[in-house]
Amino acid sequence: MEETLRRRMGLIRKAPENFLSPEEIDAIKQGRRDFIRKAFATATALAASGPVINAYGETVDPGKGDPNILNLPEWSTTLGMPVATRGYGLPSKYEAGLIRRQSPGLTQTAAASVSFTPLQGTFGIITASGLHFERHHQGWHEIDPTRHRFMINGLVKTPMVFTMDDLLRLPSVSRIHFIECGANTGMEWANVAVPTVQYTHGMISCSEFTGVRLIDLLEMCGADLKKGRYLLAEGADGSSMTRTIPMELVESGEVLVAYGMNGEMIRPENGYPLRLVVPGVQGVSWVKWLRRVEVGDKPYGTKDEAVHYIDLMPDGTHRQYSSLQEVKSVITTPSGGQILLDKGFYNITGLAWSGRGKIVRVDVSTDGGINWRQARLEQPVLPKALTRFNIDWVWDGKPAILQSRAVDETGHIQPTYGQLRKVRGTRSIYHNNAIQSWLVNENGEVSNVQVL
């Protein structure tokens, strides 16, 4: 009886100020209706009369109704702002919390560091360009596109130079792909280290990239594709980031010399005016501020493939040229540091991806991996792109452990921490694709845990 009443009451609860401790009032201000429910299980029955507090901390007289309906808000009763008030549009001021953030203590200096995408608040598969994660080794610049040049040399008949004019005149393609830093989730190899999905998984983004197929440019230069099985890509910034790229991926037409991202020019932090797009491969290979590509017959052993982006195995060897991003997924809501408002229905939602191709299935468990249910994959499901999954869940107020597990089109299944560590130990830093677990406690608080 009380239960049905509670449900029907929806958002509205008995006003509790007089009965509540300061902590309890805090809890309510956070929107913790469950808290109120527990403290005032009996009082709820009386809710039909007298003031109550809703999930937003507003006082409501349920006999009359919601003041947001009864008293028209200012946006319904005043003139709004004119067009082009903001020549370049911005998110609502109410979204100000969802921004790229650094993980304190991760790096010593902000110009060789990372900022993470707030996955806890993003929708669908495209990352807003302003929220795309950043990783710089020597700071970022605003490159003047009229002074930027792109050169191809090495095992080619004619080394060539292209201006941005040249590149934008050529036939273009647009493709949606994820880009994930090889060190994404790297802080969690040995144990839980960070509180939210922004920091556990936020070195991933997915965008529509527009540019020229690199193979077309190589053919213009008469590249020797027989001998030249490796490419060196090099940036124009201070670090002049260099990485070895496999010619097979270039020949498949997948590798792009891209200038566009989500309908506009690539943002400066992401490589304006030109970056390499290497689908399925870790982000460091997507060289930003791209100035040069060299065709060669051997890998290059650059700093970021001989000192970093190498995976330490239990036997003390490092895996070198570990480039591919393997099958992986994560639940983005509910996730660490969030609090469920109440028992009842939730849409568990998350992202899945694989550098080997398309995602074919995502399973979700709410009991820490004892039982699994198949989630819905939302369209579009594209190769080497983020795939959004959703699944219905009714929370009964008891502790739960939420997990997701992705499978890609090659049949590769995302492993547990136990399975991954058995082979790779805990010191790899890179390529942690273990199943993520979120513990929901009775208060609805979600925290980061590792299930073996």
Partner 1 sequence: MSKFSKTVIAVATAVVCGAAGAAKYEGIGRPATPAEVKAWDIDVRPDFVGLPPGRGTPEQGEAIWLQKCAMCHGDFAESNEVFTPLVGGTTQEDIKTGRVKALVTGSVPQRTTIMKVPTVSTLWDYIHRAMPWTSPKSLQSDEVYALVAYLLNLAEIIPYDYELNQETIKEVQNRMPNRNGMTWDHGMWPWGPGVKAGGIGNGGKPDVQGSDCMKNCKKEVVIGSNLPEYAWDAHGNLKEQNRVFGPVRGKEISEAAKEEAQTAAGRQQSMLDLAKQKGCTACHGVDKAIVGPAYRDVAAKYAGKADAVDYLAQKIKNGGAGVWGNVPMPPHPSLTEEELRSLAQWIASGAKVD
Residues contributing to the site for ligand HEC (CB under 6 A): 109, 112, 137, 239, 303, 307-308
10's contact among ligand HEC, partner 1, none, with CB below 5 to 8 A by partner kind, is none
Question: Which of 128, 173, 312, 360 is close enough to bind partner 1 by CB under 8 A?
Answer: 312
Pattern of binders to partner 1 over 187-226, x per CB under 8 A? ----xxxxxx-xx----------------xxxxxxx----
Q: Can you list the positions of beta strands (E) in 8-163?
A: 13-14, 52-53, 59-60, 113-115, 134-136, 149-154, 160-163
Tell me whether residue 103 or residue 349 sits nearer to ligand HEC (CB atom): 103
Look at residue 257 and give its three-state secondary structure: strand
Pairing relationship of beta strands 290-296 and 149-154 according to DSSP bridges: parallel
Question: Which of 161, 227, 376, 392 is close enough to bind partner 1 by CB under 8 A?
Answer: 161
User: Closest separation between CB of residue 183 and ligand HEC, Å?
Assistant: 12
User: Closest separation between CB of residue 239 and ligand HEC, Å?
Assistant: 6
Classify residue 380 by its DSSP letter. P
Within 393-452, the residues that bind partner 1 by CB under 8 A are: 401, 405, 407, 412-420, 422-424, 427, 431, 435, 437, 439, 445-452
Chain centroid to Cα 297, Å, comes to 35
| Cβ-Cβ contacts under 8 Å for 195 (sequence gap 6 or more) | 336, 337, 447, 448
Query: Is 103 among the residues that bind partner 1 (CB under 8 A)?
Result: yes
Within 343-382, the residues that bind partner 1 by CB under 8 A are: 346-347, 356, 363, 367-373
Residue 193 has a CB neighbour count (10 Å cut-off) of 16
Cα gap 286→254, rounded to integer Å: 12
CB 407 within 8 A of CB 359: yes
Phi, psi of 69 (to 5 degrees): -95, -40
Look at residue 18 and give its three-state secondary structure: helix
Within 239-278, the residues that bind partner 1 by CB under 8 A are: 239-240, 242, 246-249
Query: Is 313 among the residues that bind partner 1 (CB under 8 A)?
Result: yes
Helix residue ranges per DSSP H, 40-104: 67-70, 74-77
Classify residue 388 by its DSSP letter. E
Tell me whether residue 65 or residue 399 sits nearer to partner 1 (CB atom): 399
Cα gap 114→140, rounded to integer Å: 12
Region binding partner 1 by CB under 8 A among candidate stretches 71-79, 165-173, 253-261, 377-385: 165-173
205's contact among partner 1, ligand HEC, none, with CB below 5 to 8 A by partner kind, is none
- DSSP code string of 132-176: --EEESS------GGG-EEEEEESBSS-EEEEHHHHHHS--EEEE
Tell me whether residue 129 or residue 419 sits nearer to partner 1 (CB atom): 419
C-alpha dihedral sign at 123, 127, 133, 139? negative
333's contact among partner 1, ligand HEC, none, with CB below 5 to 8 A by partner kind, is partner 1
Q: How many CA atoms lie within 13 A of 350 on its CB side?
A: 32
Question: Which of 38, 101, 267, 358 is close enough to bind partner 1 by CB under 8 A?
Answer: 101
Region binding partner 1 by CB under 8 A among candidate stretches 13-21, 46-54, 70-78, 317-325: 317-325
Tell me whether residue 64 or residue 149 sits nearer to partner 1 (CB atom): 149
Could you tell me the end-to-end alpha-carbon distance of the chain, in angstroms, rounded to an integer? 41
415's contact among ligand HEC, partner 1, none, with CB below 5 to 8 A by partner kind, is partner 1
Query: Is 104 among the residues that bind partner 1 (CB under 8 A)?
Result: yes
221's contact among ligand HEC, partner 1, none, with CB below 5 to 8 A by partner kind, is partner 1
168's contact among ligand HEC, partner 1, none, with CB below 5 to 8 A by partner kind, is none
267's contact among partner 1, ligand HEC, none, with CB below 5 to 8 A by partner kind, is none
